[in-house]
Structure 1
Amino acid sequence: METIGLIAGNGRFPVLFARAARARGLRVVAVAHRGETEPDLEREADSVTWVRVGQVGRVIRALKAGGVSRAVMAGGVNKVRSMFSLRPDWRAMRLLGRAAGRGDDALLRAVSAELESEGIEIVPSTVFLQDIVVERGHLAGPPLSEREAADVRLGCRVLAALGPLDIGQCVVVERGVVLAIEAVEGTDRTIERGGSLGTGRAVVIKAAKTGQDMRFDVPAVGPRTIETMVRSGAGVLAVQAGATIMLEGERLIEMAARQGITVVGCDEHGNVGQS
């Protein structure tokens, strides 16, 4: 039986990945992060080793002990919380010194290189879940107005400009004004901050960073995204097609339709219709 390794962060994505991999007959050897990964993963993976954020050596030992030669990184890590719970071992300290920067992509590239030096190849986390990658077009809710479509395009330009700085994947815009840009706080807090500054129809744009390595930190939205938008007064969710995953998609679409929230998949320029 083929084995796949799973380095699990937070959210539902690691659970869904493990379930999909086992459904295809693979053995799943997971490494989960305390305070981040959902305990439900224990029921979906064949084995789970719990570590603290920053224990790179333990991650490698657990995967090698499980016979892993290919692994995925699925789910994120709460950056604010990890500042206080980080427990870097000597391998983590070494790779931090070699990393090209302190942004998500730079750090994850360094972790990936460390794993690959031990014979563990990191592969895209969507390898068994292409069906949850967002397609281009109108997905739920009312059609975009011309003003909202312009806001989507503006948001995509902002994210494209910030991408090389490895900052964030989300921006909130309304009536041509940028209300919030994601930094260390994460997407939900960005939506809350931006929505609080809008008038009830703020536009949330989520997209991959320019040049992002799609093996990890794939942009993701789910039902919690819609819940946050409802609570914050945001009315449009635009996500980059082909580069964003939609967790529990049917539930997200149903919630958005019920709440009158527009959901669209767009290209990297913010265009929704076919070119």
Structure 2
Amino acid sequence: MEKPNVVSANLNSTPGDKVGIIAGRGELPLRLANTLKERGTAVFLLLVENEAKPEDYANFSFEIVQITKIGKFLKALKREKCKRVTMAGPIDRPNFKSIFPDKEGFKLLTKIGKSLSKGDDGLLGAITQFIEDKGFQVVGAHELDSEFVAKIGTLGKITPTEEDLKDIEKGAEIIRAMSVYDIGQAVIVRAGYVLGVEAAEGTEKLIHRCKEFSWDNPAGVLVKLSKTGQDLRTDMPAIGVDTIRQIKTAGLSGIAVEAEHSLILGLDEVVSVADKSGVFVHVISTDCHSDD
């Protein structure tokens, strides 16, 4: 029998209160784990192989797993007595034609069926239901730590211009229109002109792709919002310091995210870096998803 690749740390908390974090790339999994640990909640992490960096989690109990080994995921969560499970950080969609799933992974592939050809919402919804059917409660990072949740208003000293606000409004309209097709969460607009739309490549590559359109003076806005009807437990839009730096490098004026439907990781750091970079961070109302 294959022994689990588990690293243990001494965590003091109430038995049965442990949270399982399926960790992908980025800073969200580690920030969330640190916050929960500071509050006395035990944490067990499943680090997706080639996505999360094990060296970042030396102070936590974790197991490294392949994304297709669903049975290993479930056994580890049961062994660690995790009742609540959250998914944190982006994970690249595997090539389902070339993978070798375990027994539970095959069951999942059979169950999700047509969802494989859909966008991320359809696929994540099927995975979430599968995990819940196994007796776990799937929760969002925002439900575990509300301090990450974006609040309405402009953060920091840099404010958007009237033209920026018009670009934000147009970007929000575009994302709302795209939601029915489950395409992406972000768009870059400059002076009413759409420079790029996020698809499967993700926000970072969208920003990089639009660098070729940069002007001598910063202009253009990255609008990053949740899609209409999106399950925020599994794919809530998130930004952090790296996002601000990418925006600066791309020659954009700023970013707009959505109040209550977005995560800001390391708020004080984000504001500080944004101010120093001359980049605005604007949090808009959730009524951008209204059907009125």
Q: Return the TM-score normalized by structure 1.
A: 0.90
1:219 aligns with 2:219: no
Secondary structure of 2:67's aligned partner = coil
Question: Out of 49, 62, 65, which is 1:48 matched to?
Answer: 62
Cα deviation digits, residues 129-188 of structure 1 (max 9, x gap): 211211111112432111110000000000011112211111000000111000011101
The 3-state SS of whatever aligns with 2:31 is helix
Amino acid at match of 1:16: R
Residue type of the alignment partner of 1:216: T
Aligned position for 2:7 = none
Shifted more, 171-180 versus 103-112: the winner is: 103-112
Once the two structures are superposed, what CA deviation does each residue of 1:66-97 show, in whole Å capped at 9, x if it has no partner?
11221111111134xx4499654313422331
| Cα distance change, pair 86–235 in 1 and its aligned pair in 2 (3 A) | farther
Query: Secondary structure of the residue that 2:253 maps to in structure 1?
Result: strand
Q: Who is 1:22 aligned against?
A: 37
User: Which whole-Å CA distance do the structure 1 matches of 2:249 and 2:65 have between them?
Assistant: 34
- Structure-1 separation of matches of 2:150 and 2:55: 25
Cα distance, 1:43 vs. partner? 2.7
What is the match of residue 278 of structure 2? 260
Note closer, same or farther for the CA distance 1:240–1:268 as it changes in structure 2 (3 Å cut).
same
Aligned CA distance change for structure 1 residues 56 and 270 (closer, same or farther; 3 Å): same
| 202-211 vs 128-137, which moves further | 128-137
Q: Is the 8 A contact 1:236 1:261 kept in 2?
A: yes
SS in 2 for 1:208: coil
Counterparts of 1:239 and 1:98, CA distance in 2? 31
Cα gap change, 1:61 to 1:217, in 2 (>3 Å): same
Unpaired runs of 5+ residues, structure 2, are 1-13
Q: What secondary structure sits across from 1:233 in the alignment?
A: coil
Q: Are the equivalent residues in 2 in contact too, given 1:140–1:264 (CA < 8 A)?
A: no
Does structure 1 residue 250 correspond to structure 2 residue 268?
yes
| Alpha-carbon RMSD | 2.1
Return closer, same or farther for 1:195/1:86 CA change in 2, 3 Å cut-off.
farther
SS at match of 1:225: helix
Q: Name the residue aligned to 2:148.
A: 132
Contact 1:5–1:72 at 8 Å: present in 2 too? yes
Q: Give the TM-score, by structure 2 length.
A: 0.85
Contact 1:170/1:187, CA 8 A, preserved across alignment: yes
Asked if 1:96 corresponds to 2:86, the answer is no
- Larger-Rg structure: 2
Q: Which amino acid aligns with 1:135?
A: K
State percent identity of aligned pairs: 30
